[in-house]
Amino acid sequence: MHLFDLTGKVAVVTGGTRGIGLMMARGLLQAGASVYISSRKAEAGEQAVAELSRFGTVESIPADVSTEAECLRLAAEVGRREERLHVLVNNAGATWGEPFGTFPASAWDKVLDLNLKAPFFLTRAFLPLLEAAGTEDDPARVVNVGSIDGLHAPSLPTYSYSASKAGVHHLTRVLAKELGPKRVTVNAVAPGPFESKMMAATLAAHGDEIAASSPLGRIGRPDDMAGVVVYLASRAGAYVTGAVIPVDGGRATTL
């Protein structure tokens, strides 16, 4: 079997309806996995399914994963359809920018609930299905989406966001230790700038400058995200756990 082949594997991608989640869902499908995408809006899910169906078997299950109850419900919904889950991608995320002096408590709760607590509660909720899929040779995989803003101090006033992403990176290491013996790997991807709704305003205002300031001279492309998630989900990534992989054209890695 090809080192990067995902035929027969089942994946869940939260926030898989647009942006980075959609890029990853497409990559997983093209490598042969069947994919469940999830986000709050049912209509966005159906639109993404229409776009992704030409690449393979994909279904949308809407859920707001910022509460544990919804994380449990999403796992139960997938569990009604599948006996095993090979790949869980914790990608859904949100940001908030506001000056230090007025940055509100609500922006801490909203961002930490989704960016940091959801990966924990989802991983726990899906653990029985992940354990059912994982073997010594081919463990099940959890892929958390962090950010280079969790590696360096960001230029924008996104206090809860950058803290949540540093938290995601460390939670990744903690869960890798916890779940390795259960034949589940846990890794994080730390993206640099990629086109998405979250990044639209920043890239519209500073896109050229951001691209020029990276050693590779561009922002990220969909295949850059597809490539890293397929690597981590496939036999090629079977011995990697607790890693945080920057995919950023060198923006943070060469600072």
Binds ligand NAP by CB under 6 A, chosen from 26, 33, 56, 64: 64
Q: Nearest-CA neighbor of 255 among 213, 220, 211?
A: 213
The minimum distance between CB 31 and ligand NAP, in angstroms, equals: 20
Q: Which residues are catalytic?
A: 161
Nearer to ligand NAP, 152 or 173 (CB): 152
Asked if 94 touches ligand NAP (CB under 6 A), the answer is yes
Identify the DSSP state of 64: -
Interface segment toward ligand NAP; rule CB under 6 A; list 13-21, 97-105, 178-186, 235-243: 13-21
Asked if 39 touches ligand NAP (CB under 6 A), the answer is yes
Asked if 14 touches ligand NAP (CB under 6 A), the answer is yes
Q: Is the dihedral of CA 194, 85, 243, 154 positive or negative?
A: positive
Strand, coil or helix: 249: coil
Q: Nearest-CA neighbor of 75 among 117, 31, 14, 134?
A: 14
The minimum distance between CB 2 and ligand NAP, in angstroms, equals: 27
Interface segment toward ligand NAP; rule CB under 6 A; list 58-66, 97-105, 152-160, 175-183: 58-66
Q: Quote the CA–CA distance of 176 and 181 in Å, as a whole number.
A: 9
Asked if 224 touches ligand NAP (CB under 6 A), the answer is no
Q: Nearest-CA neighbor of 35 among 55, 58, 63?
A: 58
Number of neighbours of residue 107 by Cβ within 10 angstroms: 19
For the chain, the 3-state helix, strand and coil shares in percent, each to the nearest 5, are 50, 15, 35
Residue 134 and residue 181 in contact, taking contact as beta carbons nearer than 8 Å? no
Asked if 18 touches ligand NAP (CB under 6 A), the answer is yes
Asked if 72 touches ligand NAP (CB under 6 A), the answer is no
Count interface residues toward ligand NAP (CB under 6 A): 28
The minimum distance between CB 83 and ligand NAP, in angstroms, equals: 24
Q: Quote the CA–CA distance of 174 and 171 in Å, as a whole number.
A: 5
Instruction: Concatenate the DSSP letters of all residues of 92-103 into one string.
Output: --------TTT-
Interface segment toward ligand NAP; rule CB under 6 A; list 33-41, 81-89, 207-215, 235-243: 33-41
Asked if 162 touches ligand NAP (CB under 6 A), the answer is no
Binds ligand NAP by CB under 6 A, chosen from 5, 40, 206, 222: 40
Q: Quote the CA–CA distance of 181 and 173 in Å, as a whole number.
A: 14
Binding site for ligand NAP (CB under 6 A): 14-15, 17-21, 39-41, 44, 64-66, 91-94, 114, 145, 147, 191, 193-194, 196-199
